[in-house]
Amino acid sequence: MVGSLLFVAPALTAVSFLSFPFEAPVWFYGMDAPGRLIDNSDLAWMVAEALGLDLDRATEHLFVDLDTAGLAYALNLTNSANPHVTTCGDSVVFPIGKDYMLLDGEEMALPGVAVYAPVTGKVYVSSEAIQKARSACG
């Protein structure tokens, strides 16, 4: 099927989204069920609003551009199974795609994952990761 369809029944709305190449139906029940087509990219914003969350604030906290952190770092992509960023010499390591950092070989949990964006060459880590790295660097 090409496009999206909206089926409306009393107190039940089924929304089918085109998510190439597959469709992912989302079902809404109850009196407040939307009677319209909702773009799948709007769902996160709708859920966040319903839960009283601020996605922009979460993004600012979880994805800080490492270039703006004031830390000298090196991105190591030589081993595709273990891409990582090092800073403070090699005493702080941020494994890409992981929610922890290594501080002198000891694993420390972080609130978000380290992200490498290959198109821009940028690395993003949480603000907590930056604070811990700064403390470790002295």
93-105 pLDDT, tens digit each? 999 999 999 999 9
Q: Which residue has the tokens 């290959």?
A: 118
User: Is residue 53 predicted with pLDDT exceeding 80?
Assistant: yes
Same domain, 118 and 81: yes
Same domain, 120 and 103: yes
Same domain, 66 and 45: no
Same domain, 44 and 23: yes
CA distance linking residue 68 with residue 111, whole number of Å: 19
User: Is residue 11 predicted with pLDDT exceeding 50?
Assistant: no
Question: In total, how many domains does the chain have?
Answer: 2
pLDDT at 24: 62
Same domain, 45 and 88: no
CA distance linking residue 108 with residue 95, whole number of Å: 11
What average pLDDT does the chain have? 81
**Which stretch of DSSP H or E encloses residue 55?**
helix 55-62
Which range of residues forms the domain containing residue 85?
62-137
Confidence of residue 28 (pLDDT cuts 50, 70, 90): low
Comparing C-alpha atoms, which of 117, 115, 111 is closest to residue 97?
115
Helical packing angle, 55-62 and 43-51, nearest 10°: 100
pLDDT at 9: 39
Same domain, 25 and 44: yes
- Over range 123-134, report the average pLDDT: 96
User: Is residue 107 predicted with pLDDT exceeding 60?
Assistant: yes
